[in-house]
Each structure stands twice: as C-alpha cells, then as structure tokens.
Amino acid sequence: MLEIHDLHCYYGRSHVVQGVSLAVGAGEAVGLVGRNGVGKTTTLRSIMGLVRGTRGKILFKNEDLSSVPTHARARRGLGFIPDEHAVFPGMTVEENIRAATLLLAGAGQRRSLDTVYELLPLLAERRHQPAGTLSGGEQKMLALARGLASRPELLLIDEPSEGLMPLNAELIANAIDRARSNGLSLLVVDSSFELLRTVCGRLYVMDQGTITGEHRLTELASSTDLVQTYLRANA
C-alpha cells in the first residue's frame, strides 16, 4: 500500500528526516514512535505532500507521489489527521464532516456521515454545534470522524490520544480499531501504549530523523525498556 524509500526532509537548513524507509501493507496498522522532535510528524506531513523540501521516494499503491499535490493525494485514497488545527472552527460538526464527504458520490455522502455518527455517537448529538466550541477531546473525535468519513484507503494519524482523558482516548482507540477491522490501512504516530496495542500489529521506532528499529507488537509488550523510553504505559 505505502512504501517509503530513503526519505529526507528539510526545514530550511535543518535536516529533520534523514533517510526514513518504511512500509505499510494493505489492511495493516503500523505505529511510528519516538521522542518529541525526531521527525515523526514531518514524515507524515511529507507523505501527504505538505513539506516542500523533501527527497526520496514515496510510493502509494505503486505510484510515485513526488509530483502529486496534496489534494490529489487525498483523492487517490490517502487520508491525514493532523495533531493540531485539525477542525474548521467556524463550521458546525456536520459541516466539518461534510467538507470531506462531498468528494464522494451522492448516496455515499449520507452513508459515510451515518457510519461515523454510529462510530462516535457524541458527534451526532453535537452535529449543529460550531467545531470551535468543542473541547479538545471532542475536536480530536471530530477530526478522526472526518478523516474516516472521506473513506481513505490509508489513514495517517498524528497523536490521536495526545492530551485526552482516558475515557476519550479509549473511545478513539476503539473507533480506529473498528475502522482497521473494516480493512483500513493505518500509520499512527502516538505515544500511548494502550492505543498502539489496541490498533497496531507492528511498530517502527524513530530517533534523530531515522528509523532505528522495527518491532512486532508481541515483542513490544515484553520489551519494558522500549515502552519506558518511548511510550506512556497508560493512555
């Protein structure tokens, strides 16, 4: 589904991502973990075409994305939920979701909306509320709902559980897991051990701009050092 070969990203003179290579298979959920500032978010943003200074190869469904603009990547089946500024604050909850579903054919729009409301019922209750008035956790839910509503084939999610109360984090983890069990491929950046254990089968570890390790979930469960270094034990 997604293959990245020797990806380098620059912000001005700063060489943030230094030769990342990774792969996500069809229907697979993969985690990307590491300390703050090692280039995880930049990696996701460059996959989506949001970082100008990049070098290397990004293949999605065997197509080289290097000359494909961001909106066209989305239309090819790539979805991205950023960590910050992930909702349109002046639009209602439903308008936020509709902004994404409008790319789908007529009947698919309503179906998609109903599906995400069923997955995250709180949003159905708040459908007419401006997104900017939602709490941080609710905004995360809305961003996830909108990401799922556009029916991507591969969804990149940046820190879905960051700053959430345990109950909201669990809700989000379950919603992501249900989407994965319906065949959605995922690349998730997060530091919650619970969320990653619920959703992902495999993890990449990133340090100083490069991939330094790859682990199966079973290895991670037993690898206390790794968990203590890179992850929060509780969501």
Partner 1 sequence: METVVVAGLNGLVVGASLALVAAGLALLFGVFGILNLAQGGYFMLGGYVVWLAIDHGQNFWLGVAAAAAAVGIGGGVVLLAMIWPVRDRPTALVLLATLALSLVLEQLASDFFGGDTKAIGAPLVARLPIGHTEYPVYDLVIVGLTAAILAGGFMLLKYAKYGVWIRAVAQNRELASILGIPIIRVYVLAFMVSSSLAALAGSLLVPLTGAYPTVGVDVTVNAFIVVIAGGLGNLRGAAAVAFLLGVVEAVGSIWVRAQAVQLGVFVLVILLLIVRSQGRYVLVRA
Binding partner 1 by CB under 8 A: which of 19, 27, 82, 213? 82
Closest CA to 198 of 213, 214, 186, 212: 186
Q: Which two tokens stand for residue 127?
A: 């459908």
Binding partner 1 by CB under 8 A: which of 13, 85, 105, 218? 85
Cα-Cα end-to-end distance for the chain: 29
Residues 23-62 that bind partner 1 (CB under 8 A): 48, 50
Window of 22-30, 35-43, 91-99, 133-141 that interacts with partner 1 by CB under 8 A = 91-99
Binding flag, residue 99, partner 1 (CB under 8 A): yes
Minimum CB separation from partner 1 for residue 74, in Å? 3
Cα-based distances in Å from 189 to 108, 131, 151, 220: 29, 24, 20, 15
Q: Which residues are CB-neighbours of 188 under 8 A, at least 6 positions away?
A: 29, 30, 31, 32, 156, 157, 160, 176, 195, 196, 199, 200
> How far is the C-alpha of 195 from the C-alpha of 186, rounded, in Å?
13
Closest CB to partner 1 among 45 and 202?
A: 45
Site string (108-127) toward partner 1, x via CB under 8 A = --------------------
| Contact residues for partner 1, defined by CB under 8 A | 48, 50, 69-72, 74-75, 79-80, 82, 85-91, 95, 98-100, 102-103, 146, 150
